[in-house]
Amino acid sequence: MPRKRKGARSLAGSLHDASADRKRTCRERKPRPDKKKKKPSTAGDDAATASGRGGVVMTAPPASGRAAPDSPGRGLKRKVGCIESATRIGRKKRLEAEYELGDEIGQGKFGSVRICRAKAGGEEFACKALPKNGEETVHREVEIMQHLSGHPGVVTLKAVFEDADKFYLVMELCSGGRLLDEMARDGTFSEQRAALVIKDLMSVVKYCHEMGVIHRDIKPENILLTKTGKMKLADFGLAARVTNGQKLSGVAGSPAYVAPEVLSGSYSEKVDIWGAGVLLHVLLLGSLPFQGGSLEAVFEAIKTVELDFNSGPWESMSVLGRDLISRMLDRDVSSRITADQVLCKSRQFLIQHNFMFIFTRF
């Protein structure tokens, strides 16, 4: 019986592969030759932005520290061939050819957001317009959204367009508004409701961290709600890609939510846990934990103010709730809990709360 040559494929296998190739909808993009040799960008090379109350713009220098080898599922770039072609930058198609712009629904320091309707079918989306003077930042935001696409808790990028002056990011429309608006309307949240928010948020943050992405701007303005109340994490303009063990440097984020290690100049994905801890404080008490009359005073409070979770309004909170927030706002990064641990603790709290509710009814 003749021996099969190494690397040879059977006829059945070849036919199967050919059939699969015909069905494949995403194709590998041909690399475009660079006219100029550019200096490789690093995870920390970005201009930090923030808007509204306490917004600050600072430049984050290149990432410091050695990157450890990649681990499966973390920091691995999604294959270009499997990225939706409509979300690629550099396409010649124009926004007005496929969408009609409607009313403005948001305004930030660096751009605006308007309703847009698809000419084919009439479905509504949100269109974020960004000026081209921040081109590198836009490229990074688009690349990260492509990398994270598919998770139900991440706002979906539908298409990218550009003209001479602006980029246009067409994204799913979250008609429920921002978490910030819900907080302003409803006031403080109950422990159970706050735990539900943190659980849903940590589910997305855990996914981001597993994919090698640090959001760096966790705050209620960047958490959107669908019509049914489902949470979506948005605005990846400050997000950074890292590999295992890599440290970032440079101040980036919104001042009141910035972690103390960011101010010290070397930090990891645990800055997102701190930001979520600040959010939890606002949800439960209706106030920021670290305040001041100036930017410097806020930063000083973040570095030095000791929070007491055993007195005042915290006395009426559950032990599990107090333990959770104290471990999220731990200045010692090595002992600050991870997204997975926050997720587990928030689930424990909800289980305990539901048990107590059932127990007290009988």
Contact in structure between 89 and 109 (CB atoms under 8 Å): no
* pLDDT, tens digit, 9 for 90 and up, residues 235-289: 999 999 998 889 999 899 999 999 999 999 999 999 999 999 999 999 999 999 9
Contact in structure between 335 and 321 (CB atoms under 8 Å): no
Q: What is the CATH number of the domain that holds 95?
A: 3.30.200.20
Q: Would 207 be classed as within a structural domain? A: yes
Distance, in Å, from the CA atom of 239 to the CA atom of 154, rounded to the nearest integer, reads: 13
Q: Would 124 be classed as within a structural domain? A: yes
Q: Which residue has the higher pLDDT, 358 or 287?
A: 287
Q: Name which of 287, 291, 276 is nearest 329 in CA terms.
A: 276
Distance, in Å, from the CA atom of 209 to the CA atom of 75, rounded to the nearest integer, reads: 8
Residues 151 and 256 in one domain: no
- Last residue within a domain, chosen from 146, 173, 200: 173
State the pLDDT at residue 145.
Answer: 94
* pLDDT, tens digit, 9 for 90 and up, residues 141-162: 999 999 999 899 999 999 999 9
Least confident range from 28-42, 97-111, 297-311, 321-335: namely: 28-42
Contact in structure between 143 and 89 (CB atoms under 8 Å): no
Q: Would 316 be classed as within a structural domain? A: yes
Distance, in Å, from the CA atom of 108 to the CA atom of 111, rounded to the nearest integer, reads: 5
Task: Compute CA distances 232 → 118, 156, 204, 272, whole Å.
Answer: 22, 9, 8, 15
* Structural domain that includes position 273: 177-361
- Last residue within a domain, chosen from 110, 145, 173: 173
Identify the H or E element spanning 206: helix 191-210
Residues 230 and 344 in one domain: yes
Distance, in Å, from the CA atom of 233 to the CA atom of 57, rounded to the nearest integer, reads: 21
Tell me the one-letter amino acid at 126: A
Q: Which residue has the higher pLDDT, 345 or 182?
A: 182
Residues 95 and 221 in one domain: no
Distance, in Å, from the CA atom of 237 to the CA atom of 130, rounded to the nearest integer, reads: 11
* pLDDT, tens digit, 9 for 90 and up, residues 21-52: 444 444 444 444 444 444 433 333 333 333 33
State the pLDDT at residue 143.
Answer: 93
Q: Which residue has the higher pLDDT, 328 or 348?
A: 328
CA 164 to chain centre: 28
Q: Would 342 be classed as within a structural domain? A: yes
Residues 199 and 330 in one domain: yes
Residue 64 DSSP code: B
Residues 209 and 296 in one domain: yes
- Band (pLDDT 50/70/90 cuts) for residue 346 is confident
Per-residue pLDDT, averaged over 348-357, amounts to 65
Residue of 45, 217, 235, 272 marked catalytic: 217
Residues 152 and 236 in one domain: no
**Residue 143 is encoded by which pair of tokens?**
């690349």
Least confident range from 123-137, 287-301, 324-338: namely: 123-137
308 as an active site residue: the answer is no
Residues 224 and 267 in one domain: yes
pLDDT surpassing 60 at residue 100: yes
pLDDT surpassing 90 at residue 182: yes
Residues 252 and 104 in one domain: no
Distance, in Å, from the CA atom of 115 to the CA atom of 269, rounded to the nearest integer, reads: 33
Gap between the terminal Cα atoms of the chain: 78
State the pLDDT at residue 221.
Answer: 95
- Band (pLDDT 50/70/90 cuts) for residue 201 is very high
Q: Would 6 be classed as within a structural domain? A: no
- What is the model's pTM? 0.77
**Residue 126 is encoded by which pair of tokens?**
């949100």
- Band (pLDDT 50/70/90 cuts) for residue 350 is confident
Per the structure, how many domains does the chain have? 2
Q: What is the CATH number of the domain that holds 244?
A: 1.10.510.10
Q: Would 121 be classed as within a structural domain? A: yes
Q: Would 225 be classed as within a structural domain? A: yes
Distance, in Å, from the CA atom of 47 to the CA atom of 3, rounded to the nearest integer, reads: 61
Residues 250 and 109 in one domain: no
Q: Would 152 be classed as within a structural domain? A: yes
State the pLDDT at residue 18.
Answer: 42
Q: Annotation-wise, does 128 bind a ligand?
A: yes
Residues 105 and 163 in one domain: yes
Residues 283 and 141 in one domain: no
- Last residue within a domain, chosen from 141, 173, 205: 173
Q: Which residue has the higher pLDDT, 43 or 335?
A: 335
Residues 286 and 331 in one domain: yes
